Amino acid sequence: MRVVILESAAEMTQVAAKESLERCGLLAPKRGKRLGRLVLGLATGGTPVGVYREWIESFRAGDVSFQSVTSFNLDEYVGLPTSDPRSYHAYMREHLFDHIDIALENTHLPDGCAEDLNEAAANYEWQIEEAGGIDYQILGIGTDGHIGFNEIGSSLASRTRVKTLTQRTRSDNSRYFDSLEGVPRMAITMGIGTIMSARSILLIASGEQKARAIRDAIEGPVTSMVPASVLQLHPDVTIMIDEEASRLLAHRDYYRESEANRIRLHDISESVLERRDS
């Protein structure tokens, strides 16, 4: 697990945006290498908004194209039509899709209004598989340690399905609704197994309210009581957080030193490649 601690939420957002574009090969290529089709897993919520804003700016500056991207979102509320401004379908259009060159027919979110939700969930899994699996998954984390809407007790092997939201999640998300009562009680979400099948994962979090979940996810035992802790078993996970979210970590200095060494090694191999290319 790579843990990157940045000074502020703004810095975390900028670094996450730049790194994700680079890792996905979406930036203008340095050495004439561009990836073919890319399957991106996308998240909603407050945290990714800034990352999407940065992506849009890079697109407007002509540095990035999303034409080769197919996307799959983590989750959608059950019962909110896609036209509802609080649905994640609407969120994605507002915060990303309407502002970049991604083909809308290549974007996917679970259908929270399907007549048969189990069938819609199975179909979503099938679509991800058909697309070749997720190359790069962006994740947030709930204050209770959820990823996607995989709440406490979610099977660590679960695939896309309907989940009941905890009171805590409904209360955290009530800021987007008129009242707590108005927050849907269920969601259709990629499972933990679905998320773990992604080839590479970037989890972003900021603020003191996330400090406990971040500590439990990184330094606690792997347990379905903290769904994000399962990421300890994934071979390619980066957790990018600000100072406040890192506050309860016992080994902050070690993570900082590891990251400084990683950057040093990366710089050395870049300069070797540049010498070789010249």
- Provide the minimum distance between the beta carbon of 141 and ligand PGA in the complex, in angstroms, as a whole number: 6
Strands 2-6 and 237-242: parallel
Q: Which of 144, 156, 152 is nearest to 205 (CA)?
A: 144
CB 92 within 8 A of CB 77: no
Known catalytic residue at 89: no
Judged by CB under 6 A, does residue 191 bind ligand PGA? Answer: no
Contact stretch for ligand PGA (CB under 6 A) within 20-28, 44-52, 182-190, 239-247: 44-52
- Provide the minimum distance between the beta carbon of 266 and ligand PGA in the complex, in angstroms, as a whole number: 28
Residue number of the CB atom closest to ligand PGA: 45
Contact pick of 13, 20, 47, 106 for ligand PGA (by CB under 6 A): 47
Q: Taking the CA atoms of 17, 61, 135 and 29 in sequence, report the sign of the dihedral they define.
A: negative
Give the distance between the most distant pair of CA atoms in the chain.
64
Tokens 């930036």 sit on residue: 27
Cβ distance to ligand PGA smaller for residue 76 or 106: 76
Contact pick of 45, 110, 145, 184 for ligand PGA (by CB under 6 A): 45
Alpha carbons 132 and 109: distance in angstroms, whole number: 16
Q: What angle do CA 244, 87, 234 make, to 5 degrees?
A: 50
Judged by CB under 6 A, does residue 153 bind ligand PGA? Answer: no
Judged by CB under 6 A, does residue 150 bind ligand PGA? Answer: no
Alpha carbons 86 and 78: distance in angstroms, whole number: 12
Beta-bridge partners for 242? 6
Known catalytic residue at 266: no
- Provide the minimum distance between the beta carbon of 95 and ligand PGA in the complex, in angstroms, as a whole number: 12
Burial 187-210 (b: 16+ CB within 10 A, else e): bbbbbbbbbbbbebbbbbbbbeeb
- Provide the minimum distance between the beta carbon of 74 and ligand PGA in the complex, in angstroms, as a whole number: 8
Alpha carbons 113 and 162: distance in angstroms, whole number: 12
Known catalytic residue at 144: yes
Contact pick of 10, 35, 37, 46 for ligand PGA (by CB under 6 A): 46
Contact stretch for ligand PGA (CB under 6 A) within 40-48, 56-64, 84-92, 270-278: 40-48
Contact stretch for ligand PGA (CB under 6 A) within 9-17, 45-53, 233-241, 264-272: 45-53
Q: Taking the CA atoms of 266, 272, 276 and 278 in sequence, report the sign of the dihedral they define.
A: positive
Contact pick of 142, 145, 184, 191 for ligand PGA (by CB under 6 A): 142
Active-site residue, selected from the candidate residues 111, 125, 135, 151: 151
Cβ distance to ligand PGA smaller for residue 45 or 112: 45
Contact stretch for ligand PGA (CB under 6 A) within 43-51, 54-62, 189-197, 267-275: 43-51
Burial 7-46 (b: 16+ CB within 10 A, else e): eebeebbebbbeebbebbebbeeeeeeeeeebbbbbbbbe
Count residues binding ligand PGA (CB under 6 A). Answer: 6
Q: Show which residues are catalytic.
A: 75, 144, 146, 151
Residues that bind ligand PGA (CB under 6 A): 45-47, 140-142
